[in-house]
Chain A
């Protein structure tokens, strides 16, 4: 594989990682602060993508679509929280899994009912069309670079929010010991809602960004959800920093793995067997990585709740 191709795959991997981070950040906070397993976080991502696509088509502008989709995603997130999730905070994890799965079933089907099963096309905004020349003869889509930058900026903003503001301190404290924070007189309900809503918006944001790159279809959130869970388990539950690092690792591993593995297998097997085994191994790679990391650090790389 040439250097240029390798570089492209690494960039693709980083960009997948950034999107994963945006989804995982909300997930890890919600789990860390509220001890709530939210399987429906993946549909937040999907909702963002559909809202972005629909609003962009309706207004004729990607940017307007993005601008409107964010508050809409926030609204739906809050709706889910008020209607369903807040009844589940004191329940055991498996009940939460079951109920949030019900939300997935409903929303996946709803998307299919409203927009049909075929993927929606979301055109890249005019401003970000075209490519950037990385090396002589190698162009990389401008849009993907923009996504990378947007994600990094958001990550930076999130870091600032969590590490340097009072609200962020409360959230961090809540992720370490929610009962203590409540005992200190903080309105824990409001903190929960805030964390939840913000996480939902981040996931929705990732969905809008993903529109032009990945296909917008019912069930698109499911794969992302599993990846996001792998990310937060590896990164350590409740840790934004862990989610960031783990997301990049997973994004790059998954992308590079899928492109390199079949080639690697060709050293040992014939082409068609190599393609198959390669694809299978590539898909397993992130799970193997997770099992390996958990074998040495059973609580993830940067667990928030003490050591």
Chain B
């Protein structure tokens, strides 16, 4: 039942509106567009993770690997000179869905810190596999010849078009995750997250629902990976590593656990800090670290919590 828009949702909508308007209001320079693209792509990835963590209670420390699978799909196909979205997109979706299905089949059987560790393990395995693929760059990474084509056209090369493509994808992710969480499927997920015994006592076996959620989250991340590969035109194994997975978790927590809009805000704030702080000093991590610590200690519920939203 619509209880009116929560403040954090409103703020997120305003921020997205600002992003939509930005190129038209004079922020069209290359370095801005790069920044915006990075923000929106990570926001989508963080959203898919928030769906998993806040919705299903699946705190995955291997989410970057799913994103990386999508990115590497672009790279590998590019190496074989297959560059149109009509092929790249389905392959990326299939690859990240399969990756999530296979790893999730094992991981979702565990819980708590063991789940965190197993997802970390699978992420690291993906990282090492990518590092050993010398045909596709190995440790040094792979540079795309060009961005992926759209039905033969080079629309993605246009920064403006790419900007709105990313924005559109972000909105799609947001809408989809919100819809899923409100559906029957989402209700079972949320119930299982809070009280697995009660969900079982009411007649739901948690495993199939959680596994499906894990696959959906991983596939959305894979799609974000396709966009990321195009944004940076460079794909490296580090995209799959635990540090990147950790950053995604931070965006989710920073924004506020359990709030989809929070993940968007958290990602944007994170990317901003990551971009601006190095301009202040090379030792910017000595500032960033304490910021994280203080944020966690004093901002319970993350940015969303500060804006008055409560975990649903």
* Chains A and B in contact, CB within 8 Å: yes
The interface residues of chain B lying within 8 Å CB-to-CB of A98 are: 249-250, 253-254, 292, 296
- Cβ of B289 within 8 Å of any chain A Cβ, yes or no, is yes
Q: How many residues of A contact B (CB 8 A)?
A: 46
Q: A54: shortest Cβ distance to chain B, in Å?
A: 19
A280–B132 CB distance below 8 A: yes
A103 at the interface (CB under 8 A from B): yes
Q: Which residues of A contact B114 (CB under 8 A)?
A: 233, 294, 298-300
Partner of A102, one of B121, B125, B289: B289
Q: For residue A109, which residue of chain B has the nearest CB?
A: B285
B120, B121, B122, B124, most chain A CB atoms within 10 A? B121
Tell me which of A128-136, A173-181, A190-198, A281-289 binds B.
A281-289
Determine the chain A residues whose CB is within 8 A of the CB of B53 once the complex forms.
Answer: 94
Hey, what's the 0/1 contact readout for B111-155 against A, CB within 8 Å counting as 1?
011101110111011001101101000100000000000000000
Cα A116 to Cα B110 in complex, Å, equals 41
Which of B124, B132, B242, B286 touches A276 (beta carbons < 8 Å)?
Answer: B132
B29 at the interface (CB under 8 A from A): no
The answer to whether B59 and A105 have CB atoms under 8 Å apart is no
In the complex, are the beta carbons of A295 and B106 less than 8 A apart?
yes
Known interface pairs A283-B128, A291-B121. Does A102 touch B291 (Cβ–Cβ under 8 Å)?
yes
Residues from chain A with a CB closer than 8 A to the CB of B253 are 94-95, 97-98
Q: Within 8 Å of chain B (Cβ to Cβ): is A92?
A: yes
Q: Which of A91, A105, A226 contacts B242 (CB 8 A)?
A: A226
Mostly helix, strand, loop or mixed at chain B's interface? Answer: helix
Q: Are B59 and A280 in contact (CB under 8 A)?
A: no
Give CA–CA (A187, B10) in the complex, Å.
Answer: 46
| Contact of A106 with B110 in the complex, beta carbons under 8 Å | no
Give the chain B neighbours of A290 by CB distance below 8 A: 117-118, 121
**Cβ of B234 under 8 Å from chain A:** no
CA distance A197 to B121 in the complex (A): 29
Contact of A31 (CB < 8 Å), options: B113, B118, B291, B292: B113
Minimum distance in angstroms from A46 CB to a CB of chain B: 14
The answer to the question of B288 belonging to the interface, with a C-beta cut-off of 8 Å to chain A, is yes
Rounded to whole Å, the gap between the CB of A90 and the closest CB of chain B is 11
* Distance between Cα atoms of A103 and B286 in the complex (Å): 9
Taken together as a complex, chains A and B put the C-alpha atoms of A290 and B254 apart, in Å, by 30
25 contacts between A and B (CB under 8 A): A31-B113, A92-B257, A93-B113, A93-B116, A98-B254, A98-B292, A99-B297, A101-B250, A102-B290, A102-B292, A103-B289, A105-B285, A105-B286, A105-B288, A105-B292, A106-B285, A106-B286, A233-B117, A279-B132, A284-B129, A287-B125, A290-B121, A291-B121, A298-B110, A298-B114
Q: Which residues of B are at the interface with A, using a C-beta cutoff of 8 A?
A: 53, 59, 106, 109-110, 112-114, 116-118, 120-122, 124-125, 128-129, 131-132, 134, 138, 242, 246, 249-250, 253-254, 257, 283-286, 288-293, 296-297, 300
